[in-house]
Structure 1
Amino acid sequence: RPSFRIHLFSVVLILFCTNSVKINHIFVKVSSNDAVFCLVPAVGLSEKVLVFPYETDFSFVALIPQKEMALRAFTLCMRVATELPEERQIILFAYRTADYDELNVWREKDGRVSFYLSGDGVFFRLPPLSTFRTSLCLTWESRSGLAAFWADGRRSTYQVYKPGHSVRPKGTVLLGQDPDKHLGGLEATQSFVGEMTDVNMWDFVLSRSMIQAWHYGHKVPKGNIFDWASLEYELSGNVLVVDDD
């Protein structure tokens, strides 16, 4: 019969976490070496980079949106670098409610970049992600269904995808993992490995000039869903926050 004993150290860690700060989750991974991860909210990642050093089924960063993600349009931007081979599927952004993958962004096994809104996805052939940082943005709006990726300030062809659709609120956003159920069902072979920074999101479509300005590091309106400089986030597992030098 499997043992679910939690080591004294784990109990002490839980008590420390719950008595020291307000936390939204305690993530527990039960294995032969019981591990408890305390997700401590932190604020702001200006001039910082998230490093996911190797694949796991437990390391992720949970992002807490500044407003409910009931979306009929959005722009999502990030800077990303990875040395994972092109045939390895990688989750770049995952937003899931209790029953649906509301908004997932992937690099597929064939190297294409895709995103999914509660069902079948749409696929784009972009310059490959590599060890050198790529500025990646995604825009979509419900009225027309027009969707596009932007790589280093250059737009892909438009595709029409799910006109009339709405992204539903009250879910969880993760970087580094794809939850197959709400905060669960994580798979190492889909995890992100590499560096990620400047994750920003707006509830409208940024203009070409604004996306290009963001790519070059110029000032643009702060993301009203996620703003990297004031982002509220929670770390779990083996994720490092390092200076962006």
Structure 2
Amino acid sequence: MKSVLVLLGVLLPLISSGQSGLTDKGLFFPKPSANSYVQLTPLKPLNLEAFTLCMRLSVDPTVVSKWNRETILFAYCTKDHDELNVWQEYDKISLYLRSSSEGALYVVPLLSIFRTNLCVTWESSTGLTALWVDGRRSTLQVYRKNHKVQSGGAVILGQDPDSYLGDFVEKQSFVGEISDVNLWDYVLTGDQIMNFNEKVWTGPEPNVLNWNTMQYEVNGNVLVVPEKYN
């Protein structure tokens, strides 16, 4: 009996450290922290000359929507660079590709306690970039034309790594709920992005990050929200 308990003690951490698929589930980050995050495993390397990134978000506005706070919404970094980051900072939603100073900035209503469907599209050949909020597209911007997002990094929700998988800053951490994080290596059409607002997604299967099937690892104080709450 003692040997069985010892074996279970070894296996349970392994089971919880790597899981697959979050269909109809969400991730809840209940409070600011410098150690709570979720690492996502892409279906293939993020070697991107175009992309569509979509997610559903709701936040604790008493923390996240303060005028002087930066909050990371999505982070993809290699050992050398922040390759693809999405932020809510001050009064903007911002996309940064291998830069912390030059970004595509959108002045939009801040995230709230109610769920927001957020998508970002970008294409290297033209530099055309857009932000979609609940199915409505922003004005186009030209950003990082002929750039390429490099592979070999880590996808993180909840924290902004200032070094590879480390040096997190509590005042930049995400506080709230994230779900349905999906990434395609091309730009979806407007009609397809508008369908992201529907409970039953009928568009093309995400081919880089697929919320329903990808592996993920939870670290720190993050709760996997059951289907009945979504």
TM (norm. structure 2) is 0.89
Partner in structure 1 of residue 120 of structure 2: 138
Letter in structure 2 aligned against 1:102? E
Q: C-alpha displacement at 1:20, in angstroms? A: 6.8
1:202 to 184, 192, 195: 184
Q: Residue 74 of structure 1 aligns with which residue?
A: 51
Q: CA deviation at 1:127?
A: 2.2
User: What is the aligned-residue RMSD (CA, Å)?
Assistant: 1.8
**4+ residue stretches of structure 1 with deviation over 6 A?**
none
Kindly provide the CA deviation profile for residues 200-242 of structure 1, in whole angstroms up to 9, marking residues without a partner as x: 0000000000000111233111110111110210000000001
Query: In structure 1, the residue corresponding to 2:80 is in which secondary structure?
Result: coil
Q: Distance in 2 between matches of 1:139 and 1:157?
A: 12
- Between the aligned partners of 1:152 and 1:174, the Cα distance in structure 2 is 23
Tell whether the 8 Å contact from 1:127 to 1:151 is kept in structure 2 after alignment.
Answer: no
Does structure 2 conserve the Cα–Cα contact (< 8 Å) formed by 1:86 and 1:111?
A: no
Alignment-derived partner of residue 205 in structure 2: 222
Post-superposition shift, 1:16? 2.2
Structure 1's unaligned 5+ residue stretches are 1-11, 23-38
Is 1:16 matched up with 2:16? no
Equivalent position of 1:189 in the other structure: 171
Task: Report the Cα distance in structure 2 between the residues aligned to 1:201 and 1:99, rounded to whole angstroms.
Answer: 22
Does structure 2 conserve the Cα–Cα contact (< 8 Å) formed by 1:75 and 1:137?
A: yes
**How do residues 18-37 of structure 1 correspond to structure 2 at under 5 angstroms?**
21=14
TM-score by length of 1: 0.84
- SS in structure 1 opposite 2:212? helix
Query: Any stretches of 5+ residues in structure 2 without a counterpart?
Result: 1-5
| Number of corresponding residues | 215
Trace 1:1-245 onto structure 2 (pairs within 5 A). Answer: 16=10, 21=14, 40-83=17-60, 84-87=64-67, 88-108=69-89, 110-119=90-99, 120-217=102-199, 218-244=201-227, 245=229
Deviations 1:51-94 (A, max 9, x none): 00001000000000000110000000000000223322110000
State, as a whole percentage, how many aligned pairs show the same letter.
47
Alignment CA distance shift 1:206-1:63 (3 Å): same
Corresponding residue SS for 2:193: helix
Higher relative contact order (CA 8 A, sep 6+): 2
